[in-house]
Structure 1
Amino acid sequence: MLINKMRTLIKVMFADGKGILAMDESNSTCNERFIELGIPATEENRRAWRELILTTPNLHQGIGGVILFDETVYQQQHHGAAFLQILRENNILFGIKVDKGLQSLALHPSEKVTSGLDGLRARLNTYAGLGAVFTKWRAAISITESLPTLACIETNADALARFAALSQEAGLVPVVEPEVMMSGTHNIERCQQVTTQFLLSVFRHLNQQEVVLEAIILKPNMILPGADCSMQADTDIIANKTIACLLETVPAAVPVIAFLSGGQSGDLASTRLNAMNLKDNRHANTPDGSINQQQTLPWQLAFSFSRAIQIPAIQVWSGVPERKKAAQDAIYRRVCDNQRARRGVYHQLPESPVGRAVTATQKQ
C-alpha cells in the first residue's frame, strides 16, 4: 500500500512537465552565497530569501515539489503563516534533505563520504509526521587522475541504498543523488566512465537492500567535462553521452530521472535538458514538424535544480526588499524554461559572459 502511494506521489510531482526545486542548501552554504553578494548572513535574511522563493506567484504551475533544509521546515512568513502552509495551499509537495553533509572517508583523506545514517529512522518519522512525502540524500565524489577509489564509490553507494531503504520503510519517496562533481580538468569521457561505475554500484546496493525502484527518484549529474577541462563539449554530445550512460546503468523500473544542475548556469542546464528530451520520441517533434530521433526512453527526464534556478534571482534580490518582485519574476522565468525543456521546446537566448556560468570555474 505504501509503495503504491509513493508511486502515485511521484506521478503527481512530475505531471504536466513539472519538476523539483531544490532549496535545501545548508545554512553555511546559504550564508556563503549571501556574503558573496554583500547580504548580511543572518537567520532573518535566510528566512526572507526562502519566503521570497516560496511565495513566487504561480510557482506551482511548474514546480511539483520542493526540497527543504531542516531550518526551513519550521520557518514562517513575516506575518506568521508557516512555510509548510504556503506549500499545502499551492499543492506543492515537500521533501527534506536528511543527510548530514560530507566528511572525510577513513584512510582516504582526499575523498568524502556522506554522513547522517545514525538516528535517521527517528528523523524520518518526525518529518513524515510534519507532512513530508519525500527525502533526499546526496553523495558527491570528485575526479582526479587517481580518484575516485573503489572504496569511495562503494561506501557512498551503500549509504545511498541504506538511506533509500529507511525512507521507503517510513513511507517517504527517496531522492537518490549520486553526484560526480564538475570540478576538475577531466574530459567528458572520464566523467562518463566514473558516472557509469558509480551508478552501477548504486543500483547494485539498492537491489541488495530490496529498495523498490518504482518508488524512487534518481537525481544524477549530466555527463560533462570538468569545468577546467580545455576541451568542452557541445550540447548534442553531452545529451548523447548522458543518455548512453543512463541506458547502460539505470533500470527501466525507475520512473523519473531528475537531473541536478551541479554548477551549470540556468541557460546551459535548460538547454542540455531540452536536448536530452529531444532524443525521446515522446518529445521529438521539432518546431518545423521533423523528427530528431526515433527512441523511447524508459524514464521521464526532469529537473531538480537549485543554483540554476536560484542564482539569477538572488543576484537580482541582493537582500533589498524592494527587489522582491523582480527576483520572483526571475525564479518563475527559470521554472518555465525548465518546464519547456522537459517538453523539448526550450529555446535558449544568446549567452552573455555574465550568464554563461553559475560558478567562475565553468568554462565553455
Structure 2
Amino acid sequence: MAAQEMEMIARALVAPNKGILAADESTGTIEKRFKNINVPNTEENRRDYRELLFTTPDISKFISGVILYDETIRQKNKEGTPLVEILKQQGLIPGIKVDKGAKPLAGFPGEKITEGLDGLRARFEEYYKLGARFSKWRAVITIGNGIPTLACIKANAHALACYAALSQEAGIVPIVEPEVLMDGSHTLQRCAEVTELTIRIVFEELFMQRVVFEQMLLKPNMVTAGKDSPEQASVSDVAKATIRVLRHSVPAAVPGIVFLSGGQNDILATEHLNAMNQLGPHPWQLSFSYGRALQDAPLHAWLGNPSNRATAQQAFLHRAECNGMARSGKYSEQLEAGSGNGQATARKPIVASASQD
C-alpha cells in the first residue's frame, strides 16, 4: 500500500464522531465475559456474538474500524460470508491484533514484556491478504513498589517500535498501545509521571525505527489514580492531567490518539473522553478504541439468546453514539438517558483489572 493510502486510513480511523471497536479479545478473555452471562465459550457463540456487533444497523455512523482476533479474521457467518467482508459492507475498516500477549520479563519480578515479533513479517503478509488494513500491539506497564523499571519500559518500547515498522512495511497502519495499568493504589500524579515517561520513550524508539508518525495511531491509557487508591480524581482532573501528559509527549504529526478504557466502566470512559475534547482544540484527533466499554451493554442485553439480537444491537449503537458525541465534547446526560435499553443505562459495571482492550 502506498504511503498516502496508509495516511488516509489512519485519518479515516479517527474521522469526526467516530472511533474503533476493539473486538480482539483472546479466546481466554472472552470466556471470562461469556461466563458472566452463562454462555458457553464455543467458536459458534463467539462468531454469532461478534457478527451481532458487526451487523448493527447504522453503526458506521460512530464506528470507523474493528480490531479482530486471529480466529475472527478467518471466520465466516452461517451463510458462508467472511466476517471481514461483512465489515467492509458496513463501511468499517478491518484491523488485527498481532501481539502474542504479555509474559513475565526475565529478571524483573512483577513486570512483563509483550511477545510476538518472531514470524511477524510473514503474519502481516497473510493478514493483509485476509483484509486487515490496520493492526494493534499492546504493551503493559505496571505501577508498584519500585516498578516500572526503566529496563521494562525500554524493552516494551523497542518491541512496539519494531512491530510498528513491520506493520508499515506491510502497508498496514499500526496502532501502538503502551498501557499503564490501573491496577494498584498509586496516585493520579504517579500515573501521570509513568505515562509521560513511557510515551516519551516509545516515540524515541519509533523515531529510531523510522516509523512514519503520520501513518500510525497511539492507543494510550488515560491518566487516572489506581483503582485501589483512596483518592479518585474527578472527571475534570483526569481530563486535564491526561491532556497535559499528551501535550508533553506526543508529536503533532500523529493523526490521532485512540484511548483504551482500561477497565473503566462504560459511562465513565465516555465522560472522560468528552471532557478531554471539551478542552480542545488539540494537535491530534482524540478518539476511542474501546473493548469492554463498548461491549458490556450489548453483551448483557444479548445473553446468548438470538431473540435478544435487536435489543443488544440497540445497546451497542447507543454506546457507540455516546462515544461518537464525546468525540466533539457533545455527550450529555440527556443523550445517555436516551437509550431504548434501560438495562444498558442503569447498569454500572464494576471497574476491572488488567484491561484487554
TM-score using structure 1 length: 0.92
Indicate the residue corresponding to 1:345 in structure 2: 330
1:313 lines up with 2:298 in the alignment: yes
Residue type of the partner of 1:88?
A: K
Indicate the residue corresponding to 2:54 in structure 1: 54
1:80 lines up with 2:72 in the alignment: no
1:148 lines up with 2:140 in the alignment: no
Indicate the residue corresponding to 1:23 in structure 2: 23
Change in Cα spacing, 1:91 to 1:360, as seen in structure 2 (3 Å) is closer
Q: Please list the CA deviations of residues 267-324 of structure 1 after superposition, one character each: whole Å capped at 9, or x if unmatched.
A: 11111100000001xxxxxxxxxxxxxxx31101011111000011111111111111
1:129 lines up with 2:121 in the alignment: no
Q: Please list the CA deviations of residues 137-157 of structure 1 after superposition, one character each: whole Å capped at 9, or x if unmatched.
A: 000111112111111101000
Q: Please list the CA deviations of residues 228-283 of structure 1 after superposition, one character each: whole Å capped at 9, or x if unmatched.
A: 11000101100100000000000111110010011111111111100000001xxx
Residue type of the partner of 1:123?
A: R
8 Å CA contact retained: 1:275, 1:344 = yes
Indicate the residue corresponding to 2:243 in structure 1: 243
Residue type of the partner of 2:11?
A: K
Question: Could you tell me how far 1:360 is from its partner in structure 2?
Answer: 5.4
Instruction: Look up the SS of the partner of 1:301 in the other structure.
Output: strand
Residue type of the partner of 2:37?
A: L
Q: Which has the higher contact order (CA 8 A, sep 6+)?
A: 2
Change in Cα spacing, 1:56 to 1:358, as seen in structure 2 (3 Å) is farther
Instruction: Look up the SS of the partner of 1:21 in the other structure.
Output: strand
Distance 1:101 1:340 in 2: 32
8 Å CA contact retained: 2:64, 2:93 = yes
1:324 lines up with 2:309 in the alignment: yes
Change in Cα spacing, 1:307 to 1:91, as seen in structure 2 (3 Å) is same
Question: Could you tell me how far 1:361 is from its partner in structure 2?
Answer: 6.6
8 Å CA contact retained: 2:263, 2:352 = no
8 Å CA contact retained: 2:227, 2:351 = no
8 Å CA contact retained: 2:178, 2:221 = yes
1:356 lines up with 2:348 in the alignment: yes
Distance 1:255 1:26 in 2: 28
8 Å CA contact retained: 2:16, 2:327 = no
Q: Please list the CA deviations of residues 114-159 of structure 1 after superposition, one character each: whole Å capped at 9, or x if unmatched.
A: 0000000000011111221111000011111211111110100000
Distance 2:12 2:273 in 1: 20
Residue type of the partner of 2:72?
A: T
Q: Please list the CA deviations of residues 331-354 of structure 1 after superposition, one character each: whole Å capped at 9, or x if unmatched.
A: 000000000000110013589996
Distance 1:352 1:311 in 2: 8
Distance 1:15 1:104 in 2: 37
Indicate the residue corresponding to 1:289 in structure 2: none
Residue type of the partner of 1:355?
A: R
- Displaced runs of 4+ in structure 1, greater than 6 A? 350-354
Q: How many residues align?
A: 347
8 Å CA contact retained: 1:228, 1:361 = no
Change in Cα spacing, 1:72 to 1:352, as seen in structure 2 (3 Å) is closer
Residue type of the partner of 1:255?
A: P
Distance 2:160 2:30 in 1: 24
Bigger mean CA offset, 250-259 vs 347-356: 347-356
Distance 2:160 2:318 in 1: 33
Task: Please tell me the root mean square deviation across aligned C-alpha atoms, in Å.
Answer: 1.8
Gap regions ≥5 residues in structure 2: 338-342
Indicate the residue corresponding to 1:262 in structure 2: 262
8 Å CA contact retained: 2:17, 2:61 = no
Residue type of the partner of 1:359?
A: V
Instruction: Look up the SS of the partner of 2:110 in the other structure.
Output: strand
8 Å CA contact retained: 1:307, 1:358 = no
Distance 2:133 2:302 in 1: 30
Change in Cα spacing, 1:352 to 1:83, as seen in structure 2 (3 Å) is closer
TM-score using structure 2 length: 0.94
Distance 1:143 1:352 in 2: 32
Instruction: Look up the SS of the partner of 2:109 in the other structure.
Output: strand
Residue type of the partner of 2:73?
A: V
Distance 1:108 1:31 in 2: 29
| Sequence identity (%) | 48
8 Å CA contact retained: 2:99, 2:114 = yes
Question: Could you tell me how far 1:9 is from its partner in structure 2?
Answer: 1.1
Question: Could you tell me how far 1:358 is from its partner in structure 2?
Answer: 4.1
Question: Could you tell me how far 1:77 is from its partner in structure 2?
Answer: 1.5
1:336 lines up with 2:328 in the alignment: no
8 Å CA contact retained: 2:264, 2:352 = no
Instruction: Look up the SS of the partner of 2:16 in the other structure.
Output: helix
Instruction: Look up the SS of the partner of 1:110 in the other structure.
Output: coil
